[in-house]
Chains A and B, each alone.
Chain A
Amino acid sequence: MGIRELQGYASFLMTILFVVALYGYIVYLYRSEKKGEKDYEKFGNIALDDEIDSTPINSSDPISDEKKERNK
């Protein structure tokens, strides 16, 4: 019976943990957008503006990008 109980507690705790994490994520999403740190909605444009030569929505600084190009 020991393992059954353990199983029960484990699933209960993990469920709580995941639920907290999920809610934390919701709070984080909206807060960081309100504070102006991030704009999630602009990521939606990745699908619309997807030509190979169009400017990435989110790229690291151009210099390191170029370095990577050369290294290939």
Chain B
Amino acid sequence: MQSNAALEYDYSVAKLFTYTAILFGLVGMLLGTLIAAQMAFPELNYLFGQYGTFSRLRPLHTNVVIYGFTVSGVFATFYYSAQRVLKVSMAESKFIMFVGKLQFGLYLIAATGMVVTLLLGITTTKEYAQMEWPLDILIVLIWVLWGVAMFALIGIRREKALYISMWYYIACFLGVAMLYLFNNMEVPTYFASGGIGSMWHSVSMYSGTNDALVQWWWGHNAVAFVFTVPIVAMIYYFLPKESGQAVYSYKLSLLSFWGLMFVYLWAGSHHLLWSTVPDWMQTMGSVFSVVLILPSWGSAINMLLTMKGEWNQLTENPLIKFMVLASTFYMLSTLEGPIQAIKSVNAIAHFTDWIPGHVHDGVLGWVAFMIMAALFHMAPRMFKREIYSRKLIEAQFWIQTTAVVLYFTSMWIAGITQGMMWRAVDEYGNLMYSFIDTVTVLHPYYAIRALAGVLYVTGFVMFAYNMIKTMTSSKVLTEEPQFKSPMA
């Protein structure tokens, strides 16, 4: 081991993805706030001509936060923590370094292409798979490069046992690869018609009900393998490392891993309850969604118990606060999801604002909190400076927590109101409300949601400012902190 005395972990790729996570996070959340405000105040639709309507910006918002912010965060934390749990440095292999940097370069091209094409309305409209075929090919390439880097790092590892985080990253890689490929099977019309029309346009390989099944098999599992699996990977590394406490039960973490892998894929058809999909499949989706609570809560409880006897850290360290709240929101949304998947509840909830409400208590409270905490934890180690301001983190925490609570409470009420009004009948069995009644009644909730958006973005701006200050002008550290991240 002496030969490695001068060897250090190399964070250059992790740093690059950290920058894009901050950038796309800011853009995506600003867009989200704008479209939330548009629902309360429709005049805001006309700020940018045909490129600024709610309908054009909504997919842009979802894609930028998913493929821009979250995926950047996943790559950044992967290139940071994989080295550490495998105990190899990227600097040891020129090949891995090259693959990592190439992956980043292509990622930047694809992300820019995504923003431009969606603004222009070039889209397949399949949710979270809106990008047209040339970008799909690029994304497959990026994903393959990630896999190459991942398995190459595993190949030269010193630590023979794979830490649980690595299991989750591997699952993320495999799951997304399979689902993305299947769902984006499409035929470019330009080539199939002898060169007529637009190069960009394509048609789906599947039609109608089949297309819906494949899409929601993907749509649901994009949530699984982008918003859950890699984020669990993060919390299994960053929470123990930041708190100095080993995972409460490593065995439980292994079990929840396999449980999650097994159950999650089945649950996809719960997006299609009461549709034209066969009945037994809808029932399967419903049942497995409920079973899904077990492995999800297994992980979440494991995280909370990791802090057993160390709850004082919650007041002393704001990063612990972020991560503990993140796992709490994870529990909340993994309980809420199965409830919505019960057929009778789904009859009311589907198509309403309760669904975006559910998505956002997951992504704002769990995904984004965890990614921000992870990046905060990485910053002093990557840039060798202490975190710029602890006070700012504390303020950010409270502002954003308030925002999440405002968001999901307003959307719960809005969604249930809407669902009940759609089906309300008078004493003669006639519908009581015309559709527009169910829209205008939601105005106050849309306004509250827009306010929640403003608060959350404010918090994110504080995060970005804090990170930039940490990178550039904070106090220099002489040696790497072991557990708790130092902050001024």
The answer to whether B251 touches A46 (Cβ under 8 A) is: no
A41 CB within 8 Å of chain B: yes
The answer to whether A46 touches B161 (Cβ under 8 A) is: yes
Could you pull out 26 A-B pairs where Cβ atoms are within 8 angstroms? A11-B284, A22-B258, A25-B254, A29-B254, A30-B251, A41-B251, A43-B164, A44-B246, A44-B247, A46-B159, A47-B85, A47-B241, A48-B240, A48-B246, A50-B241, A52-B4, A52-B9, A52-B84, A52-B88, A53-B1, A53-B4, A53-B7, A56-B87, A59-B160, A60-B160, A69-B3
The answer to whether B250 touches A56 (Cβ under 8 A) is: no
CA distance in complex: A43, B162 (Å):
8
Number of chain B residues close to chain A: CB under 8 A:
40
CA distance in complex: A69, B246 (Å):
30
B178 CB within 8 Å of chain A: no
The answer to whether A25 touches B250 (Cβ under 8 A) is: no
B137 CB within 8 Å of chain A: no
B165 CB within 8 Å of chain A: yes
Measured CB to CB, the nearest residue on chain A to B253 is: A44
In the complex, what's the smallest C-beta–C-beta distance from B47 to chain A, in angstroms?
46
B89 CB within 8 Å of chain A: yes
Interface residues of A in 20-72 (CB under 8 A from B): 22, 25-26, 29-30, 33, 40-41, 43-48, 50-60, 65, 69, 72
Chain B residues within 8 Å of A60, by CB: 160
B236 CB within 8 Å of chain A: yes
Given contacts A44-B247, A53-B7, 8 further A-B contacts (CB under 8 A): A22-B258, A43-B161, A44-B246, A48-B483, A52-B83, A52-B84, A59-B159, A65-B158
The answer to whether A57 touches B4 (Cβ under 8 A) is: no
How many A-B pairs with Cβ below 8 Å?
A: 88
Chain A residues within 8 Å of B8, by CB: 52
The answer to whether B240 touches A47 (Cβ under 8 A) is: yes
The answer to whether A53 touches B5 (Cβ under 8 A) is: yes
Measured CB to CB, the nearest residue on chain B to A23 is: B255
B402 CB within 8 Å of chain A: no
- How many of chain A's residues touch chain B, expressed as a range? 20 to 34
The answer to whether A50 touches B254 (Cβ under 8 A) is: no
Chain A residues within 8 Å of B483, by CB: 48
The answer to whether A43 touches B163 (Cβ under 8 A) is: yes
Interface string of B308-333 (1 = CB under 8 A from A): 00000000000000000000000000
Interface string of B245-283 (1 = CB under 8 A from A): 011011100110011001000000000000000001000
The answer to whether A57 touches B246 (Cβ under 8 A) is: no
Interface residues of B in 1-32 (CB under 8 A from A): 1, 3-5, 7-9
Chain A residues within 8 Å of B246, by CB: 41, 44-45, 47-48
Measured CB to CB, the nearest residue on chain A to B278 is: A4
A47 in complex: contacting residue of B5, B247, B259, CB < 8 Å:
B247
Chain B residues within 8 Å of A30, by CB: 251
The answer to whether A50 touches B84 (Cβ under 8 A) is: yes
B237 CB within 8 Å of chain A: yes
Chain B residues within 8 Å of A58, by CB: 159-161
B250 in complex: contacting residue of A41, A53, A54, CB < 8 Å:
A41
CA distance in complex: A44, B254 (Å):
11
CA distance in complex: A52, B156 (Å):
13
Chain A residues within 8 Å of B280, by CB: 8
B241 in complex: contacting residue of A11, A25, A48, A57, CB < 8 Å:
A48
CA distance in complex: A59, B160 (Å):
5
